[in-house]
Amino acid sequence: MSESLADLKLDIKKLIIITLGIDQVDPKDVDDEKPLFGGDNALTLDSVDAIEIIMAIQRTYGIRIADQNTARQVIGSINSIARFISEQQSNST
């Protein structure tokens, strides 16, 4: 994994934590592969959190998430968010 992808994943974790006002979780405790929605990850998120995360990602990274089905796939995990952002940024250059 390239250093820039590792940095991107850490930035995404920080963005989620700041956006949702979660102060009891360290970004390094959030597993990149585990689903963000479910009891298995350090974050316990719900559907309202999903909307806030999508809006924060779009605003921060200047990308659009076209529809609800795409959004559901994108915010499945930290890895899927990072992959989507990297692809979108590559396509725009």
pLDDT in tens, 12-28: 999 999 999 998 999 99
Q: Which of 76, 57, 69 is nearest to 19 (CA)?
A: 57
* Residue 80 predicted with pLDDT over 70: yes
Taking a C-beta distance cutoff of 8 angstroms, is the pair 72, 84 a contact? Answer: no
**77 CB contacts (<8 Å, ≥6 apart)?**
32, 33, 34, 35, 36
Q: Looking at residue 42, what is its pLDDT? A: 81
Does pTM surpass 0.85? yes
Q: How confident is the model at residue 1 (pLDDT cuts 50, 70, 90)?
A: very low
Q: Which of 27, 1, 32, 5 is nearest to 15 (CA)?
A: 27
Match domain 3-91 to its CATH number in 3.20.20.20, 1.10.1200.10, 1.10.12.10, 3.90.740.10: 1.10.1200.10
pLDDT in tens, 39-54: 678 887 888 999 999 9
* Residue 34 predicted with pLDDT over 80: yes
